Chains A and B, each alone.
Chain A
C-alpha cells in the first residue's frame, strides 16, 4: 500500500512487518492454542485434586500405597539417572575429544531409544528376560526375577532416558574443542585432572540440564514401565502407575492428588530448564 512518494524507511517498515490486524490475529490464535492445550490442562490437575478439600488431598498422598509409589519412583530415578550420567559423560568424551570413523553412526545409535515407542521399549525387555523370553528359563532356574519386579522397571527406565545427558553434552563439548585440554596436558595434568579441572567447569551447566530432563522422564515414564511392572500395589507401582490405578478405580480425587506431585515435578523441571538455558548460552 505504499505510494511512490513514501520514503524508503516507511516503505521498508511496512514491508518488514505484518499489518497490525494480522499481528493481533496471529498472536491471539497462538495464545489461544497454548491456553487450550497447556494452561487449561495444567490448571485442571490442581483444581480436580483439591475438589474435595485439602484433607482429602493430603489423605491420598500419605496413604501407604502412595508413599510406596513415591519411594519406588525415587529409587528408580536414583539408579537410572546416575548411570546415564556416567554414560553420557563417557560417550561425550570419546565422541568429542577424538577423531574416528563412524562417529555420526554412533551418535545415531545413541539417539535410537527416542524413536522407539515406550510400549516397544518395555516389550523388548519382556522378550529378553520374561518367562518365555531368551534368558527367561535360565533366570527362573536361578530364581532371579527381573520382569514384574523392580530391576525390570529400572532397566526400561534406563532405556527410555538413555540419550538425555549424552545428547546435551555432545554438541556442547564439540563447540568447546580440545585446545584447553591439550594445553593442560602439556602443562603436565593427568587425565582425571584435565577432566575435573578443565572440561567439567566448562560444561557443568550443560550436564545439569541433561540430568534434569533425564530425571523428569525417569520419574514420569508410564508406557514402558507399565509393560514390565506387573502393577503390584505397594511393590512395583511407580507414581504414574499409581495414578492410573486410582483413576481406573474411579477414585478421581486421589488420582489427581497424586498427579499433582508429578505436575509439580514438571513445573520445577521447566523452571530449572529456563534458568539453565540462560547459563548454557552465555
Chain B
C-alpha cells in the first residue's frame, strides 16, 4: 500500500480493508466503466461523429437535456418552498410529510412510470381535466417533464433543508434590527446563505433527470425526433446490435454527467471556502 503514503496508526486492518476496497471497486466499477471508454477509443472519428451527430440523436439530446433542465427548475422553486415550509412553519403531520418527500428514491422507477402515465393519460385522474382544455401531457414532452420532476423532487429539499435548519436566527434578527423588512432579509441574508445548497440540489436533480429511464419511458410516447429520450435511444441501438452507436452516445452522456459532478464539487468547495472566511 505504499502508493497511499499511509501515516502510522496503531489500529490494524489497513492492508486487508484497503486491499479489498480497491479490488472490489476495480472489479465492479472502474474496469467496466473504463471498458466503455476503451470501446469509444476504438471508434474512428467519423464513426463517432456519425453516431452522435445524426438528426435523431441530436433531437434526443435536445429533448433530454431540455426537459431535465425544466424539471430541475420546477424542483428548484418548489423544493425550496417545501424545505422552507418544513423547517420554518408549524404543520400537523410534519413527520409524515417529511418522510414522504423521499418517496421518489424509494419507489421503483417502473412503478412511478406506469402510475404517472395512467394519471396523465386522456382518461386518467388528472388527464381527464386537462384534455378538454387542450392540454395533453402523457405521450408528449410535457409528460417527460412531469416524470423528471417526480424523480428529482427529493434532491433540492434534502440539500436545502439541513442548511435552513442550521441557520442561526441571530443574522435575521440583526437584519431586522437594522431596519430590513422580511423580504429584504430573505433576499439579502437568507437566500445567499442557501444558494450553494440550492445549486447543488438543482445540479443533482438535473443529473438524475438526464439519466432517468424507467419512470420516463411509459409516459413519454417514445416517438423518434419528438419524444424519444437519449437513454431509450441507447437501448434501441443495443437491441439493433449497433454497439458502436450505443457506446458513442453513452460516452457523451457520461462525460456530461461527470461535468455536472465536477460542478457540484466546485460549488461545495466554493461554499466551504466562503464559509471559512
Which residues of A are interface residues toward B (Cβ below 8 A)?
A: 8, 11-12, 14-19, 23, 26-27, 29-31, 33-34, 36-42, 44-45, 48, 86-87, 90-91, 93-95, 97-102, 106, 108-110, 112-113, 115-120, 123-128, 130, 132-134, 155, 158-159, 162, 178, 181-182, 185, 190-191, 194-195, 213, 216, 219-223, 226-227, 239-241, 243-244, 247, 252, 255-256, 259, 262-263, 265-267, 269-271, 273-274
Tell yes or no: B192 within 8 A of A by CB. Answer: no
**Interface on chain B toward A: helix, strand, loop, or mixed SS?**
helix
One of B27-35, B48-56, B129-137, B194-202 at the interface: B27-35
- Contact, CB under 8 Å: A123 / B33: no
Q: Which of B82-112 contact A (CB under 8 A)?
A: 82, 84-86, 88-89, 91, 95, 97-112
Is the pair A38, B29 in contact by a Cβ cutoff of 8 Å? no
For B18, list chain A residues within 8 Å (CB): 94, 98
* Option from A94, A119, A125 in Cβ contact (under 8 Å) with B32: A125
List, in ascending order, chain A residues with CB within 8 A of B104's CB. Answer: 38
The answer to whether residues A274 and B99 also contact, given A34-B82, A124-B33, A227-B238 and a CB cut-off of 8 A, is yes
- Who on chain B is nearest to A28 by CB? B85
Report which of B6, B115, B116, B254 forms a contact with A120, defined as CB distance below 8 A.
Answer: B254
A100, B21: Cα distance in complex, Å? 14
A194 to B11, CA, bound (A): 9
Query: Does B39 have its Cβ within 8 Å of any Cβ on chain A?
Result: yes
Are B119's CB and A41's CB within 8 A? Answer: yes
Is there an interface contact between A109 and B150, defined as CB atoms closer than 8 Å? no
Q: Indicate whether B210 reaches chain A with its CB closer than 8 angstroms.
A: yes
CB distance from B98 to the nearest CB of A (A): 8
Interchain nearest-CB distance for A213 vs B (Å): 8
Q: A86–B81 Cα gap in the complex (Å)?
A: 39
A265 to B106, CA, bound (A): 8
Q: Is the interface of A mostly helix, strand, loop or mixed?
A: helix
A263 in complex: contacting residue of B95, B111, B177, CB < 8 Å: B111
Chain A to chain B contacts (Cβ below 8 Å), 27 pairs? A12-B176, A16-B169, A37-B150, A39-B100, A41-B116, A41-B119, A42-B103, A48-B115, A48-B118, A90-B20, A97-B13, A99-B6, A119-B232, A119-B235, A120-B211, A120-B234, A120-B250, A127-B247, A133-B35, A216-B106, A222-B213, A226-B214, A240-B108, A266-B103, A266-B111, A270-B102, A273-B106
